Structure formats: C-alpha cells, structure tokens
Structure 1
C-alpha cells in the first residue's frame, strides 16, 4: 500500500517546472512584441525625419535643383531635422546627395548623379538599444550587440510641370498724367494723382497667389479642391461664387492684403475712394479670362488638366491692380480734344481689349492691351471751300477705324537647370487694319478683333442734296517698317522684362494711303445709269438746276456761277467750232433772261446739265479724276465735277490727320512699334517624394 508514495513525491515538481518555462517563454514573447513595436516606431520616426528633410531641402533649393548647390541641400536637410529634435551625434547621422530619377523596369529609381541630379536623397540613421531578447540572452552567457543601427532613405524632387507668370505689353498704365489710361480715368471722373501708389515699392513687393486672391474675395472652397478643377471649371465656380468683381472691391481687398503697412493701405484705400466717386464705381472685372471674354488672370493647362500649382504662382499685387484698372476702362473712348482739327476731325482713342496675366506651363499665351483709334471726318462742322458743294448741300463724312498693333506672347520653354530659372517667350506682333465704315451698334469699343470689311457696315461717305450719293466700306493693312507679323523670342529670368524688336508704324502714311481706298469706294459707289455709265439721275439734275435758279437772279449770273463751279465741259457748235456747256445753255435762251419765263430756263438747264462732252472728251482734270476713280470716259461730267472738289477737300484733311495722330500716340507714351514682355515669377514645380 505504501509503495506508490515515493512516485507521487517525485512528480510534485513537474508542473512547477513546466509553468516556469511557459512563463519565461511568455515573458520573452512579450518582450519581443514590445521591442518589435519599439523598433517599428523608431524606424517610422526616422523615416518621417528623412521625408520632411528631403522635402524641405528640395523646396528651398533654387529652381528645385540639387546639383546647383549640394552643400546647401545638406544644410537645409540638417536644419529641418534639427527642428524636430534630431541632432547629429551620439549615434545619429544625416547625409544628403543629389540623384537623378530614372525609369528601371517601369519603376522610378534614384541614381547617384552629383553633377546633374535634380532630386535630393536624404539618409538618416540612428543607433538605438538592441532588443530585450538579446539582453536577456546575455544573462545566460549568450553574446550579442547591445545596440542596433536603424536607417531611413527618402528621395524628393519637384515633380510637377514648371510654370511661369508673365504679361505682354501691359504698359498702357503710364503713371504720367498724359498716359492713355490715366486720361481715360480722368475722363471718368477719377483723380489720377492716387495712381502713384501702384508704382510704390510696397505694392511691388506685395505678393499674392491666385488661390489667396480667390479666398480674399470669398471663394470658400478648399485649396486642394480648387487645384483639382480645370481652368474652365474654376472660371465657372468663380462666376457662381463671386461673379464679376467690382473694381472698388478689388481695391478694398488689396488694401486688406497690405494692412500690415498702414501707410500703404491708406494710399490704396484713397485710390478706392476716388474710384468710388467716379463713373467707374460700378465697373466690374472678370477675375479669370476665358477664350470668350477678357479677365485679370489667364490660367492655362493641358487639355482637360487641372490648374494644380498654377494657383500657387506668385503675383505682384501692383500688377493685379494695374491690370484691373485697364480692364475697368475697357469700352471707353477718349475724345482727344487736341486733335479736333478745325472742328472737322474728331479723334477718339480707347482700350478694346485689356491685357491678361498669363499663368501656366509651356504653351501658355497672354495678349497685350488692344487699343483702337476712331477718326471722324465730318464736313458738316466746317464750310467746304467749293462753292458748288456748298450750293448743293454736299457733305463729306469719313469714319475711320485704326486698330493698332496687337501682340501675343507664348511660353515656349522654362529652364530650371540654371541658378536663376529662365523662361523663353515667343512674341508675335501683328499690325492691325485701318478701315472706313461703321461698326455695328455698341461694338466700336468692345470688339477686340481687328476690323475687316466683313465686320463693317456701309458708311454714307458723300451726301448730295440731303440724300446719300456714295456709300461704302474698306479695310487695308496698316503700313509698318517691318514684316507683318513680327516674330521675336525673348529669354528672361524672374522679375526681368525686355522689349521686342521695333516695327515702327507709319500712321501718317497709312492714313494718307486711305485716299486711294476712298477713291476706289467713290468709283464703286458712284451712281450709274442703266448702261452702267456713271451719271446722276434726271431727278438729281433737276434738283441741281433748281438750286441754280433759286440762288442766282438771271441767266448771266447762272452762267458765270456754273463756269466758276467748273461745269465747263466742251460742247459742239456750228462750223466745227466748240463752246462750253454754260455758253451753249445761255445761247439757247436768246430772248429769255430767266427772270420771267423760268420754265424754259429750267427745262434747258436740266437738259444741259446731263449732256456729255463733245466727242466724249473731258478736260485734263476730269480725265485724270475719272481714271483715278476707275471710271470710264463715258462718265457724266456733272458727276465728275461734283466729285473732284470732294477729293480735293479730303486730301489735306487726311494728311493733317496722319501727322497729328502720330504726334498724339507719341505724347500718350504709346510706342506702338514695341512690345514689352515681363516675367513676374517662375515656379519649377512642387516637391514630391519618390516612392
């Protein structure tokens, strides 16, 4: 019965040993889990440090190019890591290098390239305590290191397409009071003395981004959501949320953006106040330009692409305000009093297309401000020198439209490999047209395309006896010294500007050249009979006869007046002799002095006025006139005699207008043969990690 007792005593410690072994294993596994988690967190923090250091370095490097200054890349990375408490020493290291990113087997892989590598690679390492398992093993005599080195690698580059902010020929806002836009502002009742704030150093240094401007105007949409929109979608959103921006509101927002400088903000507010008391108080500006309408900013991307980093482009606040003012005066014609030549010529000058600031990658375009001249020659304001034209109530009205040089700049390249990135812009300057005719109602100061015959309406050029005698329209290119268009290419760094090659407009020659077009229009528009021969109708001849009979008392006075008026074409008489039309008419009335029997005088005069010259020959003056007008030798001499003083009256007026307009443009600072290009800022992309 007692033999089993020793076996029971021998088995009592088996469970305790198994429990102890299990407990030790559990503790070891717990230590392993805790230590693995600790090492994971250490590695994770180390990777975050490498990522932020790489992003900081590539962001601060000029042009986002590591190879331009490898030492500076290291400095920026170290500064960033130190800001997070990672200081080199005591087992901690940080190093940076320049790499190029290549595609290997479809994957992006960094390759060391100190000479040309644009991307930054940052390597961080840290010596941390080894695992608890190793330390526990040392208690049992197992050897192993008491620390382990962790390492993290990050590669960052500016991966988005570079973009540029630039403008083309936006120099109309000459702060001189004689400048075009200041004159337009003055005409609208604004005090232009406040414009000097636009040229102040404070506004020149004040920077804003399109995203910041949108937020300041009340577009309460996240920046990332805005960046995901296409230019068209963004324009639609802005139209919905903000609409057209009042010029005074734009000034107020600008003042708020510079409120850290109280003096500058006060000057900007003063400018807003003077605009608020002028005719421009209700003027509005589209913030974003589209293909169909002008606006302050023109954002460009590839087809269907989002605006992305274009919303982060830097703009000078002064440029935004200046462009806004030019947009506000669009559609306003300025009557230039100094060119009101003898009361017969009135000249207006205005902006029909404001400039836009182009923002985007290669392929972005921007246009200059398009200006237009309207010259109105009207003889109703001045008596004509010809007694015949005055007798017949003849009036000359010549509406001339001059579309001045337009320029387009296209961004063709951005070089971010240089210490200062550069943008290459191809500029195309096109000389406009000079036209005679009428623009459709309201289109004179709002249609930006150059005038052509297809866009014009016929104008009444010559009126006779209170009726239209000649109507027509014409369009011819302006005369310039160079080719049309002129193409030039400029390469500029940030904040640089340059002027394209000069293509001087010959305004005087161009206006004078219109005389041939006027002659053509008169020739084409002259009234003709059923056979196609130029002649006045019998009704018109009757009215002319009645004018002479009502003005002069007898046939002698009428004959003398007709000779003075040049109605002296040759007529045949007996014995192979010839006479003139007034003498022939006078001789038919031997017994009638036109004081009593006026009916016979009237009938004979109507008939004589419609006669042709003897043998179809005209005087040398009328022969030359018929030729210049493109009319045949069968032209009615009465018609030619009326048209001759019309052209004589136009010649000196057109010559005077040509020289006067040239002087006007010079005084307004519009050097139309030049196009100025300015690069406001260049962005070489946004920093991104290479995964």
Structure 2
C-alpha cells in the first residue's frame, strides 16, 4: 500500500493556510491593541495635564494677592500647586488677568491679561508636556491644556429688623406675623420653625418658580428681571417653592391654612410677591442686588435662610395692608382718628459690598379735629376753638448696608462681615395731609403730597373776631439710631444706635412735647392784631363761665385762677423742653425758651397781684359785672403789646391747655401701644441677621 504525501493532501493545505491567516489576524489585533493603549495613554496624559492646569488655576485664584504685577507673569500659589503638590515637570505658563464674559465677549476664554498695577480677578494656566511612547514607536505628540479660574467676590445674605423677638437667631413665624399686626394663632405654625436652620439660594427659588435666568446675566438685568415678576407669583406659590426647596414639602398644606388666616384678617386682597427691587421700584422680596464683578451668579448662589425668606415674602405680599390699626377717640372738645399701616415691606439683602436691606416701614396718620366743621366753645362759650390738625408720624425706618466683607476674622478665625445700620424713629409731619395720601409714599413723611403746604391748623375766635390762628406746615426731626456691627455667618446681633436703648414712654412724651411746643411757638409768630380786644373777649368769656352762685369778687377770683392754672400749664410745657425735645424740633421753630418763660412768669405775676387785690376793687365788690371783667382783663393786658403781651400769652395758655390733653392721649393710647405691643421695639436698637457669608470663592470658568 503506497502512502500519500501529507503536503499533497488537499485538507492539509487548507489547515496550514487557515493557521497562517489566524496568526496574521492575531498579530494585527495585537498591534491594534498596542495602538489603542498608546492612544489611551495619550488621552490619560491629556486628562492628567488638564487636572494640573485646573488645580493650579484654582489655587492661583484663591491667592490673587500673590499675582506678579510686573508683566503678569506668575502666581506663586498656582505654580506651587502644579510643581510641588502635583509633581508636574512640564512647561507652565501662568498669567494673571481679568475674566469678564461681557467686556471680553469676543475672546474664547473671556480672559485678558491686565495692565500693570490693575487688580486681577482670574488666573490662566497653560500646561504642556511631552508624552513618551510605551513601545518605542514614533514619538507621541506633546499635550497642552488650558484652564482659567476666577476669584469670585465675597457675597452675603442678611436681613434687618426692629423686633427683638427671636428664637435661635431667626424670628419665628408667629412672632413675625404679630410684629406686622397679623394674628394667625388659629393656624398650625409650629412646624415652620423647622425652616430656621435651612438655607436655600435665590437661584434655586427662581428655578422652582419657573423663572428662567440667562447664563452670565448682569446685575442690572437681573434686578429688572426680578422686579418684573409681579403678576406671575402669588404668595402661595412662593411659600410652596420655599418649603419644597427646604425639603419641608409637608408644609404645603400648612401654607394653605396660613393664606386663609391672612385673608380672613385682611380681606380679599391680592397677595402677590414682587421678587426684586430697582432704584425706582423698591419693596421687593430681595433688595436691589449688588455684585462687584458685574455678574449676578455670585449673588444668585448665596445661601439665604428659608424662614427669613418666608417671613419676608409674607411681609411683601401684605405690604400697606398689615398693621391696619384704627383708633377713634372722642375727647369732648376734640375728636382723634388714627390709622397705622406698613408703607414699605421688609426686604432681604443678597450681594456684595454696598448691598442694602430694609426693615418694614410703619407710619401712623393722626387727625385731631373739633367735632364740627366750625368750632366748639372754649371756656365760657364766647371764645371758640378750631382745630384741624393732620399729623403723619414715621414710627420706624431702618436699613442695613454691607460695608465690608471678609476683611476681618473673629477669635476663632471665622470671616466676618461689617454692616452699618441707619435707622430713624418718630419723624412727625404736620400740614395739608389727608388719610388718602398719608400712606401713598414710602419716602419720609415730608414727601407726602401736601405735607409742605400750609394749612389752618388752629384758631381762637369770638364774636366773629379772629383772636388767634395758626396757618403753617412743619416737620420734626426723626431720632437717629445709627451704628455698626461685625458678624460671622449665622450670627444675629443687636446693633445699638449710640448709647442706651430709648425708653418708649419717655421718647413718645418727648415727641408729644415737641409737637405741642412747635404748634405753640409757630402760633407765637402770628399774634393777635389787637391785644386789648383779645384780653377783653377772653375776660368776658372767663367771667361767663364762672359759678354764678358765687359773689362777684369770688367769681373774678375763679376766672383769674383759670388764667393762672392755664399759664402754669404753659410754663410747665416750656420747662419740659429738654435737649431731647430740641433735637426733635431741630429747625422747625426758633424757640427762645428762657424769654418765653420770662413772659409767662410776668403774666403769672400780674395775675397773682390782681388776685391779691381783687377783693379791694370797689366796683366789683359792689356787684358791677363790668368792673369785675375789667379786673380780669387788666391782669391780661399788662406786659406790653404784640407777641409778648399778656393777652396773647393768656390765649396761648388756654390753647395749650386744650391741646395738651389730646396730644398726650395720642402718645399713651396710640403711639406707645403700637411701638411696644405690636412692633415689640426697643427704640434705638436694630437687629441684624447675617445668614450666610461666602469668602475666597473660586470657580473654573474655562
């Protein structure tokens, strides 16, 4: 049997050929895998180099003060991070400059080197290195990466208030509602305290509300965008957005109860929230945002206390409706009508140095009038009193302004913010003011329409003869309470306005004294044209009002006693014109207190001398009414003429007597309760809450 050669077998040829092809394909695959490894290594080298550039740029942006200004050639922090901390041995190009996506809109990375001496806000790092191949093949290309990191200006979020009601540094919701005159005790408000330690960002709130904010929006455009969000955001939507972002979704049902409680007290008013403020349109949830870099992202990402934000939203939605206290008093000779209202809601401050936050501004309008359009009898019924006295009083107005951020640290090394507080209380304006326009402006009461227009405020007349009148308008100075505080994030501070807190009762009494004094002193510039006629009419009026069962000399004594009592009241008023009262009066009146006191003393001496000799007046003793009236008139006629006449001072004394009681009543029954019980104030002090402070922040921008 003859064997067949193997190579001649057809199947053997196929086996050898298949093996060769498989070996070839395997070799090609191995070569491809090696190539992929080289590419992957090149990619890794690129990524590693990019990481070095990113970290170096961030390190440099954190230490911008280390930038070399001569040629902007280096930054020690950036270079040290790359070389020392990340062992980078390639080539580094480090440039300090300005990152500004608006000014450098035509540049890819929005970065430009700054001129010598100009402060940089960013660091650019270019890192390049060679890449050695694994397998000794053709050299791999060098890799080069770039990174730009910007140092963000420090920002803070804060609020300012005039109430001292606080728990753990944040005003609780029930206390806040009470402070603006809303009593929502029937609703379940305890759960809201869980928001006190939660922060959210304005950017998060806007997104939750569906407000689209363009990337790299400028501060001015952001303020306009926020201020335009009036109709789109009902209070309930804002409250729900806040509690949702704070992770307290269960409070959405409580929000409905809260809205119902507010509506039950204020009526069916529109509860809308303006989100932002502009110079011409203050009163939004956020005060006008200030960001030193011109971009708004830093402010949008500030941390804001959720409970304070919720409180402020309620204050904005109920502005000019909350604290609608109305008081009506009938004091016989005079009627008093008073209304108190919020004229400007509170706002929160978010931004950099220069950002301002406002507390709620509260105003009281008081109208003191005689019971009928003409006048009411004064004393015996011959002399008539006319009073039409509109008074607008700005109870409280405070603002807090960021003046320094991250410039100082406390004893533990935590960064601080410096906040300057400017506040004023009890500015009063008297003029042609109506209730309809008293609350029309959030500016000072002297900016109310008609506040600077003279009005007939007071009048004394008899038998158609004008004895005394006052036509004028004026304003008293507010009491300033300015101070500065330095806080760390999360801290609440009570900033005194110079000296100790003011006692409410004393301060209100000083205001009432200032108002009364201003009215009397201004009346003194318009004395009666004929003092003798005024003396005769006053004496007649006093005589007619005496007890007719007494003897004529006793009746004359009774009338003179009334003159004496009224004059002593004027003397007492002038004696209370202390330095604090004069501070309130300011330039409202040019008051010569010693001179006026001397004139009143002269009147009292004249009355005293007449009293001691009235029984010796023969005509009066014999029952002559004319003689008795002459005795009274004589006591009020001495002392010269014009503004210094006893007749004028006598009329002024009776006018003071008629006014002082009602003015004291507005202090004790209206102003003090609102200040003390409703607003819960310690006058002269302001509470500032620094909710968050972000210093030395950096971000990769390219």
Is the shorter-chain TM-score for this pair beyond 0.5, marking a shared fold? yes
Partner of 1:474: 474
Matches within 5 A, 1:406-555: 406-415=397-406, 419-439=413-433, 442-452=436-446, 455-462=451-458, 469-478=469-478, 485-501=480-496, 502-504=500-502, 506-525=507-526, 528=529
Shift of 1:46: 1.6
- The answer to whether residue 164 in structure 2 is matched with residue 162 in structure 1 is no
Alpha-carbon separation, structure 1, partners of 2:427 and 2:619: 48
Q: Give 1:246 shift.
A: 3.3
Distance 1:447 1:51, change over 3 A: same
> Which residue does the alignment assign to 1:598?
none
- Asked whether the equivalents of residues 398 and 423 of structure 2 are also in contact (C-alpha less than 8 Å), the reply is yes
- Distance change in 2, residues 1:421/1:223 (3 Å): farther
Partner of 2:681: 670
C-alpha distance 106-280 of structure 1, shift in aligned 2 (>3 A): farther
**Greater Cα offset, 458-467 or 399-408:** 458-467
Work out the CA distance in 2 between the residues paired with 1:222 and 1:302: 16
Give the CA RMSD over aligned residues. Answer: 5.5
The equivalent position to 2:643 in structure 1, one of 631, 640, 654, is 631
Deviation string 1:502-545 (CA, Å, 9 cap, x unpaired) is: 4426221221232221212323355647xxx796799xx8xx99
TM superposition shift of 1:322: 1.0
Partner SS state of residue 490, structure 2: coil
Match of residue 390 from structure 2: 399
Aligned partners of 1:447 and 1:535: how far apart in 2? Answer: 45
Cα distance, 1:690–1:656 mapped onto 2, change above 3 Å: closer
User: In structure 2, how many angstroms separate the alpha carbons of the residues matched to 1:180 and 1:262?
Assistant: 22
| Match status 1:289 vs 2:291 | no
Q: Secondary structure at the match of 1:275?
A: helix
Aligned-partner SS, 1:439 = coil
In 1: Cα distance, 2:84 partner to 2:362 partner: 49
Report the secondary structure of 1:508's partner residue. helix
Cα distance in 2 for residues equivalent to 1:214 and 1:223:
12
Q: Is 1:652 aligned to 2:647, yes or no?
A: no
**Is contact 2:291-2:351 (8 Å) kept?**
no
Q: CA deviation at 1:211?
A: 2.0
- CA apart distance, 1:303: 8.4
Q: Is contact 1:389–1:642 with CA below 8 Å preserved after alignment?
A: no
Note the 1:47-66 alignment, pairs <5 A: 47-50=49-52
Which residue number corresponds to residue 46 of structure 1? Answer: 48
Matched, 1:334 2:347: no
Distance 1:421 1:309, change over 3 A: same
Q: Bigger shift: 303-312 or 171-180?
A: 171-180
CA apart distance, 1:252: 3.7
- Residue 204 of structure 1: CA displacement? 1.8
Describe the shift of the 1:450–1:122 C-alpha distance in structure 2 as closer, same or farther (beyond 3 A). Answer: farther
Give distance in 2, aligned partners of 1:180 and 1:133. Answer: 74
The DSSP-based 3-state class of the residue aligned with 1:305 is coil
Distance in 2, matches of 1:65 and 1:551, equals 87
1:240: how far off?
4.5
Asked if 1:317 corresponds to 2:306, the answer is yes
Distance between the aligned counterparts of 1:465 and 1:374, measured in 2?
28
Measured in 1, the distance between the counterparts of 2:673 and 2:269 equals: 32
Aligned counterpart in structure 2 of residue 270 of structure 1, from 239, 257, 265:
257
Shift of 1:666: 2.4
Structure 2 distance, partners of 1:290, 1:173, is 30
Is the Cα contact below 8 Å between 1:309 and 1:685 reproduced in 2? no
Q: Distance between the aligned counterparts of 2:44 and 2:415, measured in 1?
A: 39
> 5 Å matches for 1:103-252?
103-107=68-72, 109-112=74-77, 122=86, 130-131=132-133, 134=136, 159-169=151-161, 171=163, 181-182=177-178, 185-186=181-182, 191-194=184-187, 196-197=189-190, 200-219=192-211, 221-224=212-215, 227-231=216-220, 233-240=221-228, 243=231, 245-252=233-240
Q: Does the 8 Å contact 2:418/2:486 carry over to 1?
A: yes
342-351 or 206-215: bigger deviation: 342-351
Consecutive unaligned residues in structure 2, runs of 5 or more:
1-31, 91-128, 564-605, 611-616
Q: What residue in structure 1 maps to residue 599 of structure 2?
A: none
Query: Residues 186 and 261 of structure 2 are in contact (CA less than 8 Å); yes or no, is this contact kept in structure 1?
Result: no
Residue pair 1:125, 1:152 contacting (<8 A) in 2 also: no
Q: Which moved more, 1:365-374 or 1:119-128?
A: 119-128
Deviation at 1:681, TM superposition (A): 0.9
The 1:108–1:170 alpha-carbon spacing in structure 2 relative to 1, beyond 3 Å, is farther
How many Å separate the matches in 2 of 1:113 and 1:298?
37
Is the Cα contact below 8 Å between 1:410 and 1:426 reproduced in 2? yes
TM-score (ref. length: structure 1): 0.63
Which stretch shifts more, 440-449 or 98-107? 98-107
Q: How does 1:672-687 map to 2 (within 5 A)?
A: 672-684=683-695, 686-687=697-698
Distance 2:34 2:442 in 1: 77
Q: How many aligned residue pairs are there? A: 554
Q: What per-residue deviation string (whole Å, max 9, x for no partner) do you get for residues 189-239 of structure 1?
A: x73444835x834222343222222223332x3441xx42233x2233345
Distance 1:364 1:677 in 2: 14
Cα separation, partners in 2 of 1:113 and 1:159, compared to 1, 3 Å: closer
SS for the counterpart of 1:394 is strand
CA contact (8 A) 2:377 2:383 kept: no
Distance 1:296 1:649 in 2: 46
Rg (Cα) greater in structure? 1
| CA–CA separation in structure 1 for the residues paired with 2:196 and 2:553 | 76
SS of 1:519's partner is: helix
SS in 1 for 2:428: strand
